Amino acid sequence: MLKLLSNPLSPYGRKVKMTLGMKGLGDKVEIVAVDTNPGDNAEINSANPLGKIPALIVDANTAIFDSHVICEYLDSLAPAPVLFPKSGPERWKTLVLASLADGILDAALLLVYEKRFRPEEKWHPVWQQRQQAKIDRGLDHLEKSPPAWGASPDYGHLTLAAALGYLDFRHEGKWRAAHPQLISWLDRFAKAVPAFEATRPKA
């Protein structure tokens, strides 16, 4: 049995859980909820020296991280649907979309961490605006041409869905005001991938 260290509120963990759902691998993985906020969680730090979730424990000597690598590993365990095209332009398209969506997610998480881990007198508006600008530029870019899929969404699409879901959960869905195409895109994604709803974080 594989063991996934994650947390129900983690958007990166949600990527992995959506992958499990899409690949029909749910019964192969035990999901263990861990808390990374204290920074000294021995279980996660020994699995991933970076102290970050998700981490997938494969056996006594092997832990896989980060979310990208876990999803690609899980993709290799079952044939369909293919989440990572094996080669060629389709592969690069998927990976670049995932990088953009992960970058939006990273900036959104840093904005949350600024307030969670720094005292208010040390919040830095210029730095916050810099992170927000990354989110806004990323979303504006995607709004012009939301990424279509063929037979089924792939890893790039599920990463974007996780990022938009996190903006809904932690940033009050403010992205929705200026991105109607992405709203429709996310609705279509949720219909195509039931694991999106099933993994929605609850505060």
* Binding interface with ligand GSH (CB under 6 A): 10-12, 36, 51-54, 66-68, 109
For 145, residues 6+ apart whose C-beta sits below 8 A from its C-beta are: none
Measured from the CB atom, the residue of 50 and 80 that comes closer to ligand GSH is 50
Task: Give dist(CA 189, CA 157) in Å, integer.
Answer: 8
Measured from the CB atom, the residue of 49 and 180 that comes closer to ligand GSH is 49
The two structure tokens encoding residue 79: 């044939």
For residue 203, the minimal CB distance to ligand GSH (Å) is: 14
State the residue number with the nearest CB to ligand GSH: 66
Measured from the CB atom, the residue of 11 and 156 that comes closer to ligand GSH is 11
Measured from the CB atom, the residue of 10 and 94 that comes closer to ligand GSH is 10
Three-state secondary structure of 29-80: EEEEECCCCCCCCHHHHHHCCCCCCCEEEEECCEEECCHHHHHHHHHCCCCC
Residue carrying structure tokens 């927000």 = 132
For residue 144, the minimal CB distance to ligand GSH (Å) is: 26
For residue 48, the minimal CB distance to ligand GSH (Å) is: 8
For residue 98, the minimal CB distance to ligand GSH (Å) is: 10
Task: Give dist(CA 67, CA 105) in Å, integer.
Answer: 12
Measured from the CB atom, the residue of 39 and 194 that comes closer to ligand GSH is 39
CB 74 within 8 A of CB 16: yes
Quick count: other Cβ atoms within 10 Å of Cβ 77?
A: 13
For residue 51, the minimal CB distance to ligand GSH (Å) is: 5
